[in-house]
Amino acid sequence: MNAPQPATATGTRIKRLLQEYRWSLLFVWAPTLLTALYYVLFAADLYASEARFIVRTPSHMQATGITSLLQGTGISRGQDDVYAVQDFVLSRDALGRLEKQVDLRGLFNRPEADFLSRYPNLVYDSRTEEFYKYYQTRVGILYDTTTGVTTLMVKAFRPEDAQQVASLLLREGESLVNRLNERAHENAVHEAQVDVELAERRVTAAQDDLLAYRSREILLDPAKTSGALLETQARLQGELSASRTRLAELERASPGSPLRSNLESHIDALNAQIAALGGRLAGGDNAMAPKLSEYEQLMLKRDFADKELASAMGSLEAARAESRRQSTYLDRVVEPNLPDKAEYPKRARNVLIVLLSCAMAYAIGKLLYAGLREHSQV
C-alpha cells in the first residue's frame, strides 16, 4: 500500500480543523475580519472639535476661565440651566436652528465620507427623523459634576466643518440661556408689576376724587380754611371778653357815660360775628365741618394709595434685583478648536470590541447548546 502524500495529509488536517472550528470561524473570526477590512480599507477619518463652558450666576462671575476650575465644587453652577443646554444641544430644535444657518446634510455627505459613515447611508435614510438620529451620533455633550464644566464635541469629515458646527451650537446654547433668563425675569416681576399698576390706578382715582371735590366746593384746602376761621373766632372771642371787661369797669366808674352805648353796640357786633363764624364752622348747609370731614377722608384715601404705591414699587425693585441675582450666564472656558488630526474612528479599539463581543456571544451560545444537549440526553 502506498503511503499518503504530504499534501494530501495537510489538506485533510485543514479540512478537519475547519470542520471542528467552523462555528467559531463563522461567528467570531469572520465578523472580526470584515470589521478590520472596513476600518482599514474604507472607514473615513472623523475630526472632533471640542468646546468647554460653564453656566453660573452673577454672584460667582469674579472668577473666569481656568480660575473657575480651581474653585471646584465651591461654585454655584446653575445646574438646571446646564441640563437644559444639554437637552437643547441634542434636541430637534437645535438641529432645526443649525439647518437654517448651514447645510448640515451636506457637511455629513462629503466626498471623503465612506458608505457607512456618511448621511444618508445603509442605516439612516433621508427622512428627517433618521437625520435627527444620525445627528445625535455626531454631536455629544457631557457635564462634569466635579468641576462644573460642560464639554461639547462635534465630529465631522473635515476639521473646519466640525469647528463651525461646534461654534454654532455654542452660540445657540448662549441664546438659550439668555431666553431662560428673560422668561424667569418676566415670571419673577410679573406679579409685582401687576401690583404696581393696580396701586397706580388707585393713586390716580384718589387724585381725581380730590380734584373733583375741590372743583365742587371751590376750596383748595378746607383744613387751612377751617383753621383760619377758628383763629378769627378765637381773636373775636378775645376781643369780646376784653370789651365786656371794659363795659363792666365803665358801669362801675361812670354808669351814665355815653361810651356805654358804643361798647354795647361793639359787643353785639362781636357776638353776631362769632355766631356767624360758628354757623359757618359747624352748622348750616355751607358749614365747614362736613366739608372738612369729607376732605380728610379723601386725603386719607390718597395718602394710603401713595403708601401702597411706594410699597409696590419697593417690591418690584426687590423682585428685579432678585431676578438679576438668580440669572445665569454661559461662560466659555475653551473655544471650539480646529483639529489638525483625525481622532476617530478608533480602529484598533473597535475591531477589538467586535472580536471580544463575538467571542463572548459565541462562548455563551456554546455553553447554552451544550447544556441543552446534555439535558436532552438525560
pLDDT digits (tens, 9 = 90+) for 184-241: 888 888 888 899 999 999 999 988 887 887 677 655 556 556 566 567 767 777 877 8
pLDDT single digits (tens) 243-254: 777 767 767 767
Looking at the DSSP bridge assignments, the partners of residue 139 are 154
Looking at the DSSP bridge assignments, the partners of residue 49 are 154
User: Per-residue pLDDT for 71 more than 50?
Assistant: no
Average pLDDT, whole number, for the chain?
82
Res 155: pLDDT: 97
SS3 category, 319:
helix
Which of 134, 8, 27 has its CA nearest to residue 366? 27
Instruction: Report, as an integer, the average pLDDT of 78-90.
Output: 88
Quote the CA–CA distance of 53 and 207 in Å, as a whole number.
54
Instruction: Report, as an integer, the average pLDDT of 356-378.
Output: 86
Res 93: pLDDT: 96
Per-residue pLDDT band for 1 (boundaries 50, 70, 90) equals: very low
Residue 130 amino acid letter = E
C-alpha cell at 196: 404696581
Per-residue pLDDT band for 72 (boundaries 50, 70, 90) equals: very low
Res 235: pLDDT: 78
Which of 60, 91, 62 has its CA nearest to residue 78? 60
Element (H, E) at 151: strand 150-156
**pTM across the whole model:** 0.67
Q: Radius of gyration of the chain from Cα atoms?
A: 48
- More confident site: 373 or 335: 335
User: Per-residue pLDDT for 369 more than 50?
Assistant: yes
Q: How many other CB atoms are found less than 10 A from the CB of residue 132?
A: 15
CA 264 to chain centre: 86
Distances (CA, A) of 351 to 23, 30, 89, 137: 19, 12, 30, 19
Res 325: pLDDT: 79
Res 223: pLDDT: 59
Quote the CA–CA distance of 29 and 358 in Å, as a whole number.
8
Torsion angle, CA of 79/83/85/89, rounded to 10 degrees? 160
Res 34: pLDDT: 95
Residue with cell 358804643: 262
Quote the CA–CA distance of 98 and 169 in Å, as a whole number.
8
Range list of H helices, 52-158: 66-70, 79-89, 92-101, 104-107, 128-138
Characterize the bridge pairing of strands 329-334 and 47-56: antiparallel
What lies within 8 Å, CB to CB, of 237 at 6+ separation is 274
Instruction: Report, as an integer, the average pLDDT of 307-320.
Output: 89
**Would you mind telling me the total number of residues written for the chain in this entry?**
378
Res 253: pLDDT: 67
Looking at the DSSP bridge assignments, the partners of residue 52 are 151, 334
User: Per-residue pLDDT for 140 more than 70?
Assistant: yes
Range list of H helices, the chain: 6-20, 22-24, 30-37, 66-70, 79-89, 92-101, 104-107, 128-138, 159-217, 222-253, 259-282, 288-326, 347-377
pLDDT single digits (tens) 104-124: 999 999 999 999 999 999 999
User: Per-residue pLDDT for 75 more than 70?
Assistant: no
Per-residue pLDDT band for 25 (boundaries 50, 70, 90) equals: confident
Task: Describe the crossing of helices 288-326 and 259-282 by its angle, rounded to 10 degrees.
Answer: 40
C-alpha cell at 160: 473646519
User: Per-residue pLDDT for 92 more than 60?
Assistant: yes
* ∠ CA 352-356-358, rounded to 5°: 115
Distances (CA, A) of 175 to 8, 109, 373: 75, 28, 63
Share of the chain above pLDDT 90, in %: 46
User: Per-residue pLDDT for 22 more than 90?
Assistant: no
Res 191: pLDDT: 87
Phi-psi region of 284 (alpha: psi -120 to 50; beta: other; left: phi over 0): left
Backbone phi, then psi, for 148, in 5-degree steps? 80, 10
Res 280: pLDDT: 57
